[in-house]
Every structure is written in structure tokens, then in C-alpha cells.
Amino acid sequence: MVVSVLPRIAARRPHVLTIAPAPVTDDLLAVRLAAESEIARRGWPVADSPADADVVLVAGGLGRRMTALVRSVWATVPRPRVLVTVRSAGELGPGLDSAQERLARGGDSSDRDRVEWARSADVDLTDDNDGPPGVIMGGAGAPVMAGLADDDRDGLALDALHVALGPVLPHWPAALVVHALLAGDLVTDARAEVLDVPGPREVTRRRDAYTPDHVRLDSLVRVLGLAGADRAAARARALRDGEPAPGELAAFGHRLARSRTLAWTLGGIPLAATDHVAVPEPTVEARVRALAAGLGGSLAPPVRPAPHRAAAALVGLELGAARLALAAMDPDTALGAGPVEPFRPAERHEHHHHEHHG
Amino acid sequence: MADPATLLPLLLLAPALVVVAGLAAAGGAVTSGDRATAPVVETLRLLTKQRRRTPADDPLLARIGLTVLPVAAVLALAVVPVGLPGTGAPVDLEVGVVWFNAMEVLAWFAVWTAGWGPNAVTALVGGYRTLPLGLAYELPHMLAIITPAIAAGSLDPARISAAQHGLWYAVWMPVAFLLYLVSTAAMAFWGPFAAPLGRDLAGGAGAEHAGLDRLLLHAGRWMLLVAAAAMAVPLFLGGGAPPPITGPDPFSGPAWSWFAIKLLVVLALLLGLRRVMPVLRMERFATLAWVVLIPLAVAQALVVTVVVLV
């Protein structure tokens, strides 16, 4: 009796890991936004990592690389676990309901996994991916190559790690992978790749569906969430997903732009480490203030850089600062990037001086 | 030690700390807009969840660290006068303040090894963030602890608490009290100081831990926070004594009840801190600590020392 009650209680508050493809169409973007909104409405926590997840939610149809990625992430999610795929915003409610129900019954068994996979994958799963190995955040799962960094900030040669950051990280742009060279926690090289969307490419959006304020609020949700300003992040998300009055938006933006604690904690992160000028604002703090101050006004939408430009601006930053910088720049992954050659130790010096932007 | 009556409080200490830590976590859930039952559901969820390994990991190292965390919290609380009969502490130790601080520092080891064990980048970077965090908070913390000890002329928390019969040290040395509160949150790598478990690192030192391992990390953190908050009561708020304003013929009540009320106040202050502050980046906090907090702590200790000597 107790055995059946415990999973039921535990399933009342499942942690959800959302994996979304690059928003190459407005519909794909709509599914991702609706998923975030629905999870927040249910009061379900967002999983920080695969280890923290009960439900893996695939929001939108995936291409070959993303499918391979979901498969390798899924393999590292501890049981009980449930995988659910939705293709439109309308499928979200029933999909999450059924996910919770299955979790309460002990999660997907391995047979179930296979059935679910056959349904969710766009590609033939017997076709083993011939591209680079499935990238997982944190390097657990993908082999990590170690070498020696020659230009560390302390003049010490630390181990340099080649890691693929993303796309399964909290508040990370959809489908983006940053192939980074880390010396300790310092990013010394970074190249962007958008899975399944080689770039650069043109993208056209319906102007009426997403206003400049939507774009600003979506970027702010990420920055505030990463900065641990949870209440402000929740407010920004509610404004993004609801239909706020213009006054509300301006008031929220005004309050954010004036927040001293936020300005202080975001301070001192440059956005122009290299010659690549990704966004007009020189620092994360200025970028966030500009995003906030523009809310509820009639300004043009904020500049969202192409992924390769955003990645170039991360070089020289500490990992935590780089995360905030990337969230503040909020590159548009629909523009595509890459593909990037997988790292090979023998070519190390090549990679150091060779810009590869596809 | 052979007397069973002295062992009983020690045996009850761990379950009592777990219960209070659960209540604190419920308070934390409510202040962040969640349900009060969230910690209970979360505990059951993690208990029914599989543990997890990563390639080429060192699970023994990680699990030693994860187990040390709640144990250190219980050992730290053991010397805090919680209002028991006698001197008030489960274990009466003359150098209780030093012991308490030594147990707290075990948390550095715990987070570091928990982050090191999984052999993953985000976990390792998270574990390493304990270092700048510790370098920033520990000096103000030690100075804040030592200042009441200077005023009372003792390292025994029971005697420090007894020395405040007329005036609480929170009033007499407010800067030390505030620094103690801030460094308490930092020591438990909680709230604004949660960078070692940061969301930017997908959970940092905890990113790769699941099931019981994850439960130990999060429960241990709340237990550490409660233990450190509990020490604020004898150090700054007069221990189990009723507030001085109640005068010579007060509703005195048992010492443990006053202790509990004061502990709740300290925890409420800490939860309020989380509400107003985002998570601090370590380079910002290190600057703040060395430029502002340490000079303040030294100045406060100096003022108290001069007054005591004169």
C-alpha cells in the first residue's frame, strides 16, 4: 500500500527538463513559450540538470542532431522518469497530465522508453548518428579532452578543457552549443553551433505575433533567472505570457532599471571582449538596463546577435559571467550557426587562432 | 559521559535538527511562492529516486562529502546552549565557539568533494566556488563570532549568553550581529550565497547528484543554516533568557521556549535576506567582503575590545 502511495505523492511536484529545438518558425517558439508558461502555472519546478529531472519535455519536433542529443540526455536521467513530446501548444496540458500520471505509476519502463522513442523521433533511430558524439552539458557523457592552456589569467598553465556547453542548461538559448575551451573556469575560446540549423541563414518572423516587449521580457526572464532574482524573473515571465497593460510593463521596467542590488551583482561584465561587437551595449548591466527601460515603450526591438557573434563575446569571461553575458545578449538561434568540427588534440594550435564561423 | 542522562540530548539532537531544518525549508518554500508542503514532497521524491553515476567518477569521495554535511551540522549544534537544564547545551564545552567554527568549516570540504566526485565540469566549477566564498565570508564570520567572546571574556557559548543579562549583544554590537547573519547564510552556501550550487552551472556541485545524494546535499544545507542561526541566539540574543525589557518579575517561561522564539526570529531575518538579494557572483562578494565587511568587522571588534579593557 505504502509502496504505491509514495510515488503518487512524489509525483505531485515533478521537476521538468524542457528541451526545445531552435525556433526557426514562430510555431516552434510558441511551443517553447507555452511550455514554460504551463510548467510555471502548475507550480512545477524547472530541473537544473538531467540529474534533477523527473519529466523530460521535448517541446517541438526535433531534427537528427537534437534527437541524438535527447537520447543521450535521457540515458542519464535517473528513474523514475517520463519522456513526453509535444508538437503544439494545445498538446501541452494533456501531455503533462499524462506525464504526471505515468510518473505516479512508477515512470516509463525500458519497454515504454522504446515505444515513446519510436513515437517522438523524427528520424529512424537505427541510423546511428555519424556526426560528433551527443553533446551533454557539463561534459559528463561526452569525452573531455584535456590539454594545457598557455594564457591563463594568473600566468599559470592550468589544464584546458574542451567542453560542449549546452543546449541542456537552464536559461540557455534553444539548441545552441558553445564549443568552449576552459582554463579552470575561464573561457579562453568559444565557437557556436546550432544543432540542426547550419548558419548563417535568413529568418523572417510575423511581426504581429511577438512584439518587441515579448522579446525583451524573454531575454529578461533568462538573465533574472540566472542571476537568482527569482521573484523578478517570475514577474517578467508572467508579463511575457499574459496580456499586461502598457503601464504595468513600464512600471516593471522602471523598477528593474533602478534596482541597485541587481545592477551591483550584474556589474563588471563586458560584452565586447573581442573585435566582434555583438550588441550595442558595452556591458551586461547596461544591456539589462536597456532591455528594462525599453519595456512598454515604442522603441524598436532589441538587437539580438547571431550565435557566432555572441559566442565570440564570451572569450575572456569566467563561466558564471559568460552565462549571464550570453543570456543578456540572447542570440537568435533561428539564425543558425556552425556546424563546428569536433575538437581533435593534434589540431589544438589551429583552433586557437582560427575563427570558424561556418 | 557515562551518565545516560547526558547522552539522551545528544541522541535527540539529530532528529530535532532535521525537524527544525524541515520547518525552515517550509518557510523558505512559502517565501519563494511555493507550497509549505514542498520540502516533504521533495524529500519523498528524492528518496524514491535512483542514485546516479557519471563516467570515470569517484562516488566514494562525493558521498563522503555529502555525508559530512549533515553530520557537521549536528556536531556544530551540539555545543549550542539550546535551553536544556544545566548549562543549556547538549555538550558542555569550554571552547565551544572554536569547536562550532571548526565544524562549520567542514562544509567547505563537503561541497568541494561533492563537486569533485562526479568528474564533470559544472560540478567541479561549482565545488571550486567554495574557495572564493570561504575566503570572502570566513574572516568577517570569525571576527563576528569572536567579538561577543571578547566582551564576555569566554569562549564558552553558555557563559557568553549569561554575560548578556542587562543588554543583548545584538544591541551593544549591532555590526557584529549583522555580519554574523550575512556570513551564516554564506557559510551554509544558501540564498544570496548559493553560487556553488548556482543555476548558471546547472546546479553546480549538486548538478550530477540524484536521489539520496541530492537529498543529503539539500537537507544538509538547511541543517547547517539552522545550526548557525541557532548559535546567533546565545552569542547575540541573550540565549534562553527572556528579553531584558520584561523586568525583574517577568513571565520567564522555560529557557528552551525563549530559545525557540529567538531562533525563529533569526531564521525569519535570513529568509527575508533571500527575498531582497539576488544570488551574488563570487567576484562581487569577494570584493564586498574585503573592502567593506572585513574593515567593519575589525572596527567592531576594536571598539568592543577598547570598551572591555577600559
Q: Where are the domains of chain B?
A: 4-309
Please list every residue in chain A whose beta carbon sits closer than 8 Å to the beta carbon of residue B55: 140-141
Mean pLDDT confidence for A83-106: 91
pLDDT of residue A344: 58
Q: For chain A, how far is it from start to end, CA to CA, in angstroms?
A: 58
pLDDT of residue A357: 44
Please list every residue in chain B whose beta carbon sits closer than 8 Å to the beta carbon of residue A185: 125, 128
How does A324-342 read in b/e, with b if 16+ C-beta sit within 10 Å?
A: bbbbbbbbbbbbbbbbbee
Tell me how many residue pairs between chain A and chain B have CB atoms under 8 A apart.
140
pLDDT of residue A353: 43
pLDDT of residue B217: 94
Residue A354 has pLDDT above 50, yes or no: no
Please list every residue in chain A whose beta carbon sits closer than 8 Å to the beta carbon of residue B41: 9-10, 12-13
Contact A7 B48 (CB under 8 A): yes
Please give, rounded to a whole number of angstroms, the shortest distance from the CA of A160 to a CA of chain B. Answer: 11
Rounded distance between C-alpha atoms, residue B207 and residue A344, angstroms: 27
pLDDT of residue B139: 94
Please list every residue in chain B whose beta carbon sits closer than 8 Å to the beta carbon of residue A324: 200, 281
Residue A82 has pLDDT above 90, yes or no: yes
How does B116-149 read in b/e, with b if 16+ C-beta sit within 10 Å?
A: bbbbbbbbbbbbbbbebbbebbbbbbbbbbbbbb
CB nearest A137 (choices: B55, B122, B276): B122
pLDDT of residue A119: 45
Rounded distance between C-alpha atoms, residue B73 and residue A95, angstroms: 42
Phi/psi for A163 (5° steps) reads: -130, 150
pLDDT of residue A208: 60
Q: Residue A111 — pLDDT band, cuts 50, 70, 90?
A: very low
- Residues A252 and A239: beta-carbon distance below 8 Å: yes
pLDDT of residue A127: 32
Q: Which helix (H) or strand (E) holds B24?
A: helix B4-31
Phi/psi-derived region of residue B56, left when phi > 0, alpha when psi is between -120 and 50, beta in every other case:
left
Contact B120 A139 (CB under 8 A): yes
Edge-to-edge strand order for the sheet containing A159-165? A145-148, A159-165, A176-183, A186-194
CB nearest A265 (choices: B54, B199, B281): B281
Q: Which of A93-107, A112-126, B66-80, B276-290 has the lowest mean pLDDT?
A: A112-126
Phi/psi for B112 (5° steps) reads: -60, -50
Residue A154 has pLDDT above 80, yes or no: no
- Residue A85, helix vs strand vs coil: strand
Mutation target vs B (from A4, A6, A16, A52; most B CBs, 10 A cutoff): A52
Please give, rounded to a whole number of angstroms, the shortest distance from the CA of A147 to a CA of chain B. Answer: 15
If one compares A300 and A34, the residue with the highest pLDDT of the two is A34
Mean pLDDT confidence for A23-47: 91
What sections of B117-254 are H helices per DSSP? 121-128, 130-152, 157-162, 169-172, 174-187, 212-236
* Average pLDDT score, chain A: 80
pLDDT of residue A205: 66
Residue A296 has pLDDT above 60, yes or no: yes
If one compares A278 and A308, the residue with the highest pLDDT of the two is A308
Which stretches in chain B have pLDDT values below 50?
Answer: 1-2
Phi/psi for B238 (5° steps) reads: 80, 15
Structure confidence by residue, pLDDT tens digits, A242-254: 888 878 999 999 9
Rounded distance between C-alpha atoms, residue A31 and residue A278, angstroms: 27
Crossing angle between the packed helical segments B212-236 and B174-187, to the nearest 10 degrees: 170
Domain with CATH 3.40.50.12280 in chain A: 2-120
Rounded distance between C-alpha atoms, residue B231 and residue B100, angstroms: 9
**Which of A:253-292 have CB within 8 Å of B?**
261-262, 264-265, 267-268
Contact A261 B54 (CB under 8 A): no
CATH of A2-120, one of 1.10.10.10, 3.30.1490.20, 3.30.70.270, 3.40.50.12280: 3.40.50.12280
Phi/psi for A179 (5° steps) reads: -80, 105
pLDDT of residue A347: 43
- The complex's ipTM works out to 0.89
If one compares B81 and A145, the residue with the highest pLDDT of the two is B81
Q: Residue A94 — pLDDT band, cuts 50, 70, 90?
A: very high
What percent of chain A lies above the pLDDT cut of 90?
A: 36
Please list every residue in chain B whose beta carbon sits closer than 8 Å to the beta carbon of residue A9: 41, 44
Contact A43 B48 (CB under 8 A): no
- Pairing relationship of beta strands A159-165 and A176-183 according to DSSP bridges: antiparallel
